[in-house]
Amino acid sequence: MAKVPAKTAASKEKKTAPVKTKKASSSDELEKTGEEILKKLQGLNINKQLQDDIEWCLGSYRHDKNPVGLLQSLKHSHDVLKKELAKKTKGITAKFVSDVEKVLK
């Protein structure tokens, strides 16, 4: 019979991985912002063509993670949102527009 090595105190200790806090990456923020803008535009029934573009770009971005088209659509939607804010459209707030600006920078 083969001898079984005795367990040492060190082998009994559980090794724990360091706790990592997950910070939202810029790609997560970009996708989340796109979804928020799309919901806002759909809720207010503003610019149907832009809604379709954002929806298509979100799907494309989820597929290939290339943000070029999504960024262009979000920049265009930012301009539309600023115009709607100037017209004081209900539901478009200055905070929402500034949050979009932060993500686009």
Enter the pTM of the model: 0.71
* Residue 76: C-alpha distances to residues 21, 37, 45, 72, 80 (Å): 33, 11, 16, 6, 6
Count CB neighbours of 29 within 10 A.
14
Q: Which residues contact 89 (CB under 8 A, 6 or more apart)?
A: 44, 46
Give the number of domains in the chain.
1
For residue 7, being part of any structural domain is answered with no
Instruction: Quote the domain boundaries for residue 59.
Output: 25-104
For residue 13, being part of any structural domain is answered with no
Query: Pick from 51, 48, 26, 57: which is nearest to 38 by CA?
Result: 51
> What distance, in Å, lies between the first and last C-alpha atoms of the chain?
69
| pLDDT reading at 94 higher than 80 | yes
For residue 69, being part of any structural domain is answered with yes
Residue 17 CA to residue 3 CA, distance in Å, equals 32
For residue 71, being part of any structural domain is answered with yes
Q: Which two tokens stand for residue 3?
A: 């001898």
Query: Pick from 102, 99, 101, 97: which is nearest to 86 by CA?
Result: 97
The pLDDT of residue 37 is 94
Tell me: the pLDDT tens digits for 55-85? 999 999 999 999 999 999 999 999 999 999 9
The pLDDT of residue 19 is 45
